Structure 1
Amino acid sequence: MPNQSVVDRIREFNRGRNLEWLKLKYKAMQKDAFGFLRGTCHLFYQDLPVEGIFRSAPPVWICGDLHLQNFGTFKGDDRLVYFDVNDFDEALLAPCTWDITRLVTSIIVGAHTLNISDEDALALCDYFLEIYTKELSTGKDRTVHSEISTGLVKELIDSLKTRKRKDFLDERTEIEGKQRSLKLIEGKTTPVTEAERQKVTDAIAECAATQPNPEFYQVLDVMHRIAGTGSLGLDRYVILVEGNGSPNQNYLLDLKAARSSSLQPYTPYSQPNWKNEADRITAIQDRFQESPPALLTSLLIGNQPYVLRELQPTADRVNLESKDGKTKQLKKVIKTMAEVTAWGQMRSTGRQNSAIADDLIAFSQTAQEWHPNVIDYARSYAAQVEQDYQEFKTQAEEV
């Protein structure tokens, strides 16, 4: 954006957020260039030229903030554990090249974090595009679960089988008698006021009245939840509910304020007339994924929309940094990420003006024309991210 510094653009985008939590966001963004990229999705799309393949590519339902850390495991509403794209706060209808370009950029920016060379990072980018295009060309969509997962993803999913709800609850709550309450955990939770507690409790009760088992949603405790990077500073709660019985069959819920997508001003496509931003997020997630996370729904508290979902012991990400430059293992993860990206786009074809499968198949057959454009832009923008990060880090006290 002309005549505005990076710091000014970041300050303007985050205006109105909780200042204490915003400090945590900025601290995470100062860690390295990859953390900065995660926290500045809005900069990526402000800078993206909406021309060439960034305009002419088929319109699809996209995550909007696709990067290496926005994939993970979760238990779907069919109670099976999946690995898929797991963040749809920015989701909307846009050219399919937008998501894949942001993902490829994240590989280049994250190269040093992963302890791989720039050459290896570019090879992984090429491989991602190769697999993504191959899967589009089939016109089919599939899912990743335990039986068909490989490498680090399979290790992660298999490890989740040993995680128990009681252990998950014990880490985050404490028991007095037969009643659980939430723990105050530094950096993860903070207390709510009585007015906030009542506001959340009333909203959950209203939502529960529309569910088959309202007793499941009986609220036992509420705290603010501190999580994520890009969304830090927005209203967010962790809620302990009765679930299937106290104390060991209680459930934890995540309630997160929804705001408009930072891509909205730049997409060349008109969007559906969603009732609110939480409806946008949950509707797109529902069509992109084979089986969305359990208890996913939208609700309103006053005029503010929120996304409600289960906080699960089976929710996790692949720890890519722990592999410390092992490119063979990283390659398997990149393959899975490319597959689920293509499958999600294919699964949601033909919905409210998104491209049909034949359009995506035809696009895949012109890969030799647009692959170089994606790589070239990702390389140049990765350099821009590094430059912006250095400027931000130098002037962070001014934000």
Structure 2
Amino acid sequence: MKQVAGPPACEITMSFVEANAEYETWLKEQCDVVDKDLAAKHERMKDSPFMFLRATYFRWAKSIPTLCPELADAPEVLAVGDLHLENFGTWRDADGRLVWGVNDFDEAAVMPYVLDLVRLATSIRLAPDRSVPNTKVAHILIAGYREGLQLPQPALLDEGETWLRSYAIGTDLETGKFWKNIDKAKKYPLIDGKAGGKPPRDVMQLLKASLPTGATGIRYRRRIAGGGSLGRPRYVAIADWRGGRVMREAKALVPSAWTCVHGAQPSGFLKLARGQYRAPDPFLDVQDGWILRRLAPDSRKIELDEDAATHLKDYLLQAMAFDLASIHAAGSAGVEALRRDLKKRPRDWLFNAAKTAADSVRKDYEEWRYAPRK
């Protein structure tokens, strides 16, 4: 994890407030940041340590090598990077099968494979109202990861993993909650401030081209969503098609925050999303610097709710680690190298690393929570 000269280093020795300001300066050089959304992100970062973790991957990317130097010798893979409890969702594959798994690869980069496991374990430790004790979490994740290396495959909710359906789909299909939330999306204003404007022409063209042939009544909206990506331009096109509504989203793709610290590398977004052991979403694509995807009640990210404790059971956490292993298994390091490295690590390595990382996140969170605002 050698550092190279490049963009701001977001030094761990900096106060978090200083590091955040420096990162956002860099971010504004990568895309047209929506200032109001960035301000909303700042407020959300005060909600809880878990939300703070989600929103500050840049800080993690800098701090984790220093916090856990014993992980530096692990084999490197193209990793998810910003892995956490809410980086899982559902989609339909090319054959129409309902699939569950990791569905956000914005921060994908080459790094030691163990960092994905540590970040997932850290997010579980920081999650509110969870029912699985920390001492058990690490063992569950490692067990699930080993199983995934042994038989890497996607989680298909129509057959092999039907038990996931109630968690993954919930009542959104029955209550219309998904579309009610979409109806709240605001129209995107023109640059001159007049209401009722549309997204940039090139984005509208991309969105329109991604809709099914014959779609009518296209409405363009600005969408506010995400944790770490909140502040990036994000637009949706909603259209009428054969008796119902369809929707596509375009979100600005920027380099992984890992590269902000450790040096530039090509985006790994599509390579991970379309990996050998996945059943990829055929609508997920990257074009001209924009991430395009289909959004629907059965194609969306799953966020924790007030009943999170009822969901975060052993088998769900194990499934998350299994899916992660299936992603890593397609990497250049090879399954055998990952198995050997796992075997040589001390029994409590994941528990200890997650505890160290969570303590650092809480410290930064407390600084942010009480820092004076301009």
TM-score between both structures, scaled by the size of structure 2: 0.82
The residue correspondences of 1:131-170 to structure 2 (distance < 5 A) are 131-136=144-149, 138=150, 140-146=151-157, 147-149=159-161, 153-157=164-168, 159=170, 162=173, 167=176
User: Does residue 337 of structure 1 match 2:325?
Assistant: no
User: Does residue 69 of structure 1 match 2:86?
Assistant: yes
Inter-partner Cα distance in structure 2 for 1:170 and 1:313 = 8
Residue 393 of structure 1: CA displacement? 0.5
User: 59, 64, 69: which one pairs with 1:43?
Assistant: 59
Query: RMSD of the alignment, in Å?
Result: 3.0
Partner of 2:7: none
Contact 1:26 1:396 in 2 (8 A): no
Inter-partner Cα distance in structure 1 for 2:301 and 2:245 = 24
The residue correspondences of 1:1-399 to structure 2 (distance < 5 A) are 1=11, 4-15=14-25, 16=28, 17-49=33-65, 53-110=70-127, 113-116=128-131, 120-136=133-149, 138=150, 140-146=151-157, 147-149=159-161, 153-157=164-168, 159=170, 162=173, 167=176, 171=180, 183=183, 185=184, 188-193=185-190, 194=197, 196=199, 198-204=201-207, 215=213, 220-241=218-239, 245-246=241-242, 248-266=243-261, 271=265, 274=266, 277=267, 280-287=268-275, 290-300=278-288, 305-316=289-300, 320-323=304-307, 325=309, 330-346=313-329, 348-349=330-331, 354-366=332-344, 369-395=345-371, 397-398=373-374
Inter-partner Cα distance in structure 2 for 1:2 and 1:161 = 41
SS in 2 for 1:14: helix
Inter-partner Cα distance in structure 2 for 1:389 and 1:307 = 29
Contact 2:77 2:113 in 1 (8 A): yes
Residue 134 of structure 1: CA displacement? 3.9
CA pair 344-80 structure 1, distance change in 2 beyond 3 A: same
CA pair 265-36 structure 1, distance change in 2 beyond 3 A: same
Contact 2:65 2:71 in 1 (8 A): yes
Inter-partner Cα distance in structure 2 for 1:74 and 1:236 = 19
Q: Which runs of 5+ in 2 are unaligned?
A: 1-10, 191-196
Contact 2:91 2:98 in 1 (8 A): yes
Residue 319 of structure 1: CA displacement? 5.9
Partner of 1:177: none
Residue identity matched to 1:9: A
Residues 105-126 of structure 1: per-residue CA shift (max 9 Å, x gap): 111122xx12558xx1232222
Residue identity matched to 2:154: T
Inter-partner Cα distance in structure 1 for 2:338 and 2:229 = 31
Inter-partner Cα distance in structure 2 for 1:13 and 1:101 = 23
Inter-partner Cα distance in structure 2 for 1:80 and 1:102 = 29
Contact 2:89 2:302 in 1 (8 A): yes
Residue 232 of structure 1: CA displacement? 0.7
Inter-partner Cα distance in structure 1 for 2:282 and 2:23 = 31
Inter-partner Cα distance in structure 1 for 2:236 and 2:295 = 8
CA pair 158-72 structure 1, distance change in 2 beyond 3 A: closer
Residue 157 of structure 1: CA displacement? 4.4
CA pair 365-252 structure 1, distance change in 2 beyond 3 A: same
Residue identity matched to 1:393: R
Residue identity matched to 2:203: V
Deviates more, 1:215-224 or 1:249-258: 215-224
